[in-house]
Chain A
Amino acid sequence: MDELLKLLKENARETPENLARMLNQSVEEIQRRIQDYEKRGVIRGYQAVVNRDALDSDLVTAVIEVKVTPEREGGFNHIAKRISKFEEVSSLYLMSGTFDLLLFVSGRDLKEVAWFVAEKLATIPGVLSTATHFMLKTYKADGVYMDVEDDVERLKVTP
């Protein structure tokens, strides 16, 4: 991955001025490249990485494996798009292996997610079966650790 993209993936709030210094380019050049990434749809958005466990909320997330029947035309795309439209679905991937689609679904509580699976997901024509796994705790997401470990002491001045 391009170094600029890598830096933005790590910290999307990094200023063009700082990026310019780090990459030894002009601020204008950095701004132009970022705009270009946005225009081409390489950068699809900027989000905060939130530690849900630190929030006082019962929000639950489930990872759901879904088996579907691919359609004669369009393969998995049609049904995947249809499922992705539900706002409960935060991520959706086509997988190789024993199931086809992997979904990340969030809801206010267990019941809400269970209802979504039973009423919405399982009833879609083409969905053959689902297996729902609730997430209990997040240790690391998108390369970010959720627990802050104590800093290791380093001597303040060394040769």
Chain B
Amino acid sequence: MMLSASKSPLDRVAAHVRDMPPSGIRDFFEIVSTMKDVISLGIGEPDFASPWKIRESAIYSLERGVTHYTSNLGLLSLRKAIAGYLGQTYQLDYNPADEILVTVGVSEGLDLALRAILEPGDEVIYHEPCYVSYNPLISFAHGVPVGVVTTAEDDFRLTREAVEAKITPKTKALLLNFPNNPTGAALGEKDLHALAALAVEHDLLVITDEIYAELTYEGTHTSIASLPGMKDRTLFLHGFSKAWAMTGLRLGYACGPKALVGAMMKIHQYSMLCAPITSQEAGLEALRNPADTIAGMKDEYRRRRNYITSCLEDMGLPCVFPRGAFYAFPRVAELGLSSKEFALKLLDEEKVAVVPGTAFGACGKGFVRCSYATSMDEIKEAMVRMARFVKRLA
């Protein structure tokens, strides 16, 4: 009997996974984590612990022995609370029975949505700079990621024209994220309506990641899913990570027409079974008086945003005024360094960590992301150090 030559472990890895470059955030993390006394503006999660009443209700559920699997869709009580919340806050109308799926964060929701809709070669249009997972998740689902560039000159708006230029017969979906990580951009009503109209004209599905919806500091957030005619062609993804400061509890939800949510649920039931019940119990508490629960944190973020943008302006680093999320995305190109060089040098000389803009897509070149999900005291010190650094460079 012939023995075939043994493959190396790397050879066993599927090509589309092997060939995926590691996240630009990851390398930077490796460098930062070896250093001491760094003030990090590189963190994409709230510095707050989850509000105590939320933690307390999770503890209480454990005390009662609530430790079992839930329905694949998630606790019905939680789905009802989500439906009520979305109806009241964003004028969205989803049936808790079959149009809402509780997921392990928006991360899982995204993965499920893409896997449920994509055939090999289908194209998904998304806008850059953007959250690091979009491009890889589309590829892992055997789709083709098609990035649209948004620019600081245009306040990182996503226009109908820019999207339209990328539409081909293979385009299956448009993936949106406003308020945006890493730019803090929000979409105005006009752009929102224009994009909705475009989706209708070209019969596209819209996947909308609105995880920062509550953290909108100027005006109120409007979901594209709430526009006329959009519900049937939109998958709405949301979760508790950001506004409720529950990142590590891993809780989110996907809402959409029954057939699409049902398809996502098919994958979810075999791969995940259900979201952790302790987190679902916490989520129920999070949706009791949600506006009051998040108000204090939101006010604090708004003040930090004002603070950080005014300091950046004084330093001479131009920055599109972030309307939501908790990031400022200043331009550093004028200082003669690439965004990565800027970030490394700032880290080395002043021990302040920011994330190079290129981690969020090639068009992030010349920018860095400064997260203000860090205490005001740390932000103050970081701004002093950064100003000193910029002055030396200039």
Contacts and interface: CB of A to CB of B under 8 A. Distances in A.
B232 interface: no
B100 interface: no
Interface string B306-334: 11001100000000000000000000000
A21 B376 CA distance: 12
Contact of A157 (B49, B181, B311, B353): B353
Interface size class of B (residues with CB under 8 A): 20 to 34
Contacts of B42: 156-158
A159 B306 contact: no
A82 interface: no
A158 B355 CA distance: 9
A7 to B, nearest CB: 8
Interface in A18-34: 18, 21-24
B380 A155 contact: no
A56 interface: no
Nearest to B23: A159
Interface string A54-91: 00000000000000000000000000000000000000
B33 interface: yes
A155 B353 CA distance: 12
Interface of B: 23, 25, 28-29, 32-33, 38, 40, 42-45, 47, 49, 131-133, 181, 299, 303-304, 306-307, 310-311, 353, 355, 359, 376, 380
The 4 closest A-B pairs by CB, nearest first: A157-B42, A22-B303, A157-B29, A21-B310
26 contacts: A3-B299, A7-B303, A18-B307, A21-B307, A21-B311, A22-B304, A22-B306, A22-B307, A22-B376, A152-B49, A154-B43, A154-B45, A154-B47, A155-B29, A157-B29, A157-B33, A157-B42, A157-B353, A157-B355, A158-B25, A158-B42, A158-B44, A159-B23, A159-B131, A159-B133, A159-B359
